Structure 1
């Protein structure tokens, strides 16, 4: 069987397994080890290079190259060695790792935990749950602000937690999927504009934007299509996505958040505290509806359907290329 068809089927099976199982706590997650690798190398490189602007930029760039190289080459070598022993074992490991790379079920699980806490009136528990999935200060958020933060997180992470990984899995299997997750993890750990990371994390932040450039736009369009299938305001989703995506601090986040804001007739964005500092953020959309816990359910629905549509597109294109070229 041609490699493109094998990778496409593997990605589809991995998505199905993730839908059913999510991330079982008893299975060690590879992203944890990527995070540990980043921490170890960061400490080493900070000691090795001078604490000047250029020194920190060079150190951060070397960190990026080392982490993505190891994250790609190591699983590639392991799968290849296993392939020389037994092709089915290699395929099984590739499928297992592919399912671990996807995060759709985990997004749903964490979002619904916070939704249930909000519905029970447990604001402190909701804030604590939210703090596990966002980098902002949650200690003083109201119930609506918590719900809005969950909607924003699920919306933006539909790209880097599901759709973008699916694209890389279809192209190059688990090794390329791990490369992408390393890029994403680097950004989440060091890609900040704080005093500590403004220079050291520059490469990680810029390259994460580059890797997500195409997936984010595909995801935004898929969300507009999904909103039509789900009976939401697809016209407003398309309008807000095109009009407001440039207002987002990220060149990519505004595509999905804009589509979500329009589809749900709500307003997203606005000022927020990160690491004790107030960041001015533009608002996306102009919907007047309150962001209630039910909007979290709607956003999760958008996440699932847009992931299926985008994943189906990737698989169809990959198989077509394999057959006709």
Structure 2
């Protein structure tokens, strides 16, 4: 796969996006992200034993995981190309497809909304607990909606726009390498006693990998908002004002753009492991947090993704 965005690359991207939008994550097929997760789990114990310095062990874990992931994807494409161009195309589309998560994000978050529509608060809390890290017991409907909106907004960046960005930049191998970085952060990037040192490199590299995509996501949300019956000016104003109101150097930008587009306030108090953590607020409470806000952020996610695809196709046409 060429490092340049050529016509055959455009077809691969379009096919992958279409498959993700229609079918979602192919969980019944061999999945590179599952294999990456198993590799991380198998390496962790050995690296901890071999290296006395946990940061050094974490650096090795990062390098090996990302290197093997990129190399395996590139090798698969090379081997498929030896068989036939059609095999190479199918392999490239599959790797690109599994790197995207828009449909899965929608499906999993929609379970929260569906429970709320039924008036099933316990069911909504349970569904939310599967997609957020905070405690959900006792949350009322606005707080449940806030959790769902924040999750969709944040994951639009690292689950949709970022892999698409790297797919367009360097083809399927770079998209899979990004998924390896993202998986490392989700597995070892915690700031607790076990992973504070061992996961340091993975967490920092994930921040670096998402630096441009997070800000790109915010801008795409600003541009897509008017086409989604939302406020583009509000998205721009709140992103500029509150984009840094987050513990993550990146997550605040898509969350702030979404909050401004929706006219809602995100952030605030969350409970983790029995302890209440007060987070900076993002946005202004112009309208209440209802299911309308959830529907709006889902539209914003799809609108941002499709806008990025369109912009890249237009740029390619001019080239």
TM-score of Structure 1 vs Structure 2, range by shorter chain = over 0.9
Give the distance between the partners of 2:88 and 2:178, measured in 1 at CA: 20
Deviations 1:247-273 (A, max 9, x none): 111111111100111111110011212
Query: Which residue does 2:51 correspond to in 1?
Result: 49
Q: How has the CA–CA distance of structure 1 residues 73 and 256 changed in structure 2, closer, same or farther, with 3 Å as cutoff? A: same
Q: 1:318 deviation in Å? A: 5.0
2:288 match: secondary structure: coil
C-alpha separation in 1, matches of 2:174 and 2:316: 15
1:27 counterpart SS class: coil
Q: CA RMSD in A?
A: 1.7
What's 1:113 paired with?
111
- Equivalent of residue 190 in structure 1, options 188, 191, 194: 188
SS at match of 1:283: coil
| TM-score normalised according to structure 2 size | 0.94
Structure 2 residue 56 is matched with structure 1 residue 58: yes
Residues 296-311 of structure 1 mapped to structure 2, 5 A cutoff: 296-311=294-309
**What runs of 5+ residues in structure 1 fail to find an aligned partner?**
none
Q: CA deviation at 1:172?
A: 2.0
State the distance in 1 between where 2:55 and 2:182 align: 18
Deviates more, 1:136-145 or 1:215-224: 136-145
Provide the residue aligned with 1:139 in structure 2.
Answer: 137
TM-superposed CA distance for 1:305, in Å, is: 0.3
Match of residue 4 from structure 1: 5
Give deviations 1:26-75, integer Å, cap 9, x for gaps: 2243211111111111121112222xxxx111111111111101110011
Structure 2 Cα separation of the partners of residues 276 and 318 of structure 1: 51
Give the distance between the partners of 2:282 and 2:189, measured in 1 at CA: 23
Paired with 1:180 and 1:138, the residues of 2 have a C-alpha distance of 30
**Structure 2 CA distance for aligned equivalents of residues 314 and 134 of structure 1:** 32
Deviation at 1:199, TM superposition (A): 1.3
Q: Distance in 2 between matches of 1:278 and 1:58?
A: 33
Change (3 A) 1:140 1:56: farther
